[in-house]
Structure 1
Amino acid sequence: MISFVRGPVAQLSLAQAVIDVNGVGMLVHATPKTLGGLRVGEESTLTTTMIVREDSMTLYGFADADEREVFDVLLSVSGIGPRLALAVLAVLEPESIRRAVADADGKAFTKVPGVGPKVAGRIVLELKGKLVPTAGAGVPSAPAATAMAWKDQVVAAMTSLGWNEKDALKSIDAAMAAEPELADGGNVPAILRATLRWLGQDGARQSSRVR
């Protein structure tokens, strides 16, 4: 098992990074928030879990051991694979996941793309007792945490792509004003795509005005 990787970031995209580990490029899948903390050329360390199947070996990376622990426990739920477990972590913080399980708040998990009421109920049922809130952790409820988390993740993804934080926030707000249903859903990849699409359209509008 590869428990972590360390080295310069060789490549970076919205869903994965390549870490140069002593001349070997290790492809690591991660959430937009985790990837947003990386910069091409800078040395970084990611805690990892390797999923081995008959036809593949895939690395999933996390900002810390706490995220990895929650990811591994999510995989114990029937019907939850690594990509869906990673999607849960892209929307909900580890402590918010623990609290949602403890409060039997299945609705919190339906914010995750691909998780319907039945799967959300299964997560709550099967993880009861496996994930418990950290003692004394003063975190907001899972739905409130979700509402705050998606914007931070989209901003992190945009800054990793070259925008500064001020312009990223301004563009996100403008894009969500045009598509408010995306903001309500909290789907980070969809919001990011909508923001980039809005930026392209805004650039076209400014170019038209110049002419």
Structure 2
Amino acid sequence: MIASLSGTVSHVGLDHLVLDVGGVGMLVRTTPRVMGELRVGASATLATTLVVREDSLTLFGFADPGERDVFESVQTVSGVGPRIALAMLSVLTPDAIAAAVSTDDVATLTKVPGIGKKGAERLCLELRDKVPSTIGTGAGGAGEAASAPVVTTGWAGQVTDALVGLGYTTKQAESAVSAVADSLPADAPVGDALRTALRGLGS
């Protein structure tokens, strides 16, 4: 397994980044929280896990090993795949997931798109002894910020598409974007805008 990657960020997208590792561009799927901390040209170290399918090899990256461990643990539950696991970490922090599981907080878990009441109850039941109550931050952060941020004008459409991709309905996505539109400039980094919209949806 590829446990970690260190290199230079060459691209930051809505749901992925490209890390230049020794001249090889590694496409890594990650969360808005991680992408919001990275800038093109910055050095970064990510904890990673490789998900192997018959028709694909997908690399997922995280700010620290604890976040990666939660991503892997939640997938041991029936019906939870990489997409829902990544959505969980996009909406909730690892500590929030652990706290919700340990206290049977179904309401918090159902804030994640793709997780209904039964799915949340199953997560609590099956993960109670697997996910520690406090994850903490492991070694290897998301990396240092470069001096020049990645700026994308007209972020509203991209953020709406990203939210729909995470499993929210178009109506929910548009409402979330409208709710934060007045508080963010039109040239705000897309990653920052996406994180702000996700916080609104999770409140």
Report the TM-score, using the length of structure 1 for normalisation: 0.66
Question: SS at the partner of 1:33?
Answer: helix
Pair 1:28–1:128, CA change in 2 (3 A): same
CA contact (8 A) 1:109 1:115 kept: yes
Equivalent residue, structure 1, for 2:3: 3
TM superposition shift of 1:196: 10
Q: Residues 9-88 of structure 1: matches in 2 within 5 Å?
A: 9-88=9-88
TM superposition shift of 1:134: 2.6
Equivalent residues, number: 158
TM superposition shift of 1:106: 1.1
CA distance in 1, matches of 2:90, 2:121: 19
TM superposition shift of 1:99: 1.1
Amino acid at match of 2:103: D
Question: SS at the partner of 1:190?
Answer: helix
1:67-115 CA deviation, whole Å, 9 max, x = no partner?
0011110110111001100110111111111111111111111111111
1:11-46 CA deviation, whole Å, 9 max, x = no partner?
111110000111111000001001111110111111
The percent identity for this pair of structures is: 46
Equivalent residue, structure 1, for 2:96: 96
Pair 1:133–1:191, CA change in 2 (3 A): farther
Structure with the higher fraction of residues in helix conformation? 1
Equivalent residue, structure 2, for 1:209: none
Amino acid at match of 2:119: V
CA contact (8 A) 2:39 2:150 kept: no
TM superposition shift of 1:194: 1.6
CA distance in 2, matches of 1:67, 1:15: 16
Equivalent residue, structure 2, for 1:162: 151
CA distance in 2, matches of 1:21, 1:9: 9
Equivalent residue, structure 1, for 2:164: none
TM superposition shift of 1:56: 0.7
CA distance in 2, matches of 1:108, 1:102: 12
Say what the alpha-carbon RMSD is for the aligned residues.
3.2
> RCO higher in 1 or 2 (8 Å CA, sep ≥ 6)?
2
Amino acid at match of 1:162: V
CA contact (8 A) 1:11 1:19 kept: yes
Q: Residues 175-186 of structure 1: matches in 2 within 5 Å?
A: none
CA distance in 1, matches of 2:69, 2:95: 11
CA contact (8 A) 2:40 2:150 kept: no
Pair 1:73–1:57, CA change in 2 (3 A): same
Amino acid at match of 1:57: L
Q: Residues 80-159 of structure 1: matches in 2 within 5 Å?
A: 80-134=80-134
Gaps of 5+ in 2: 137-147, 157-167, 187-203
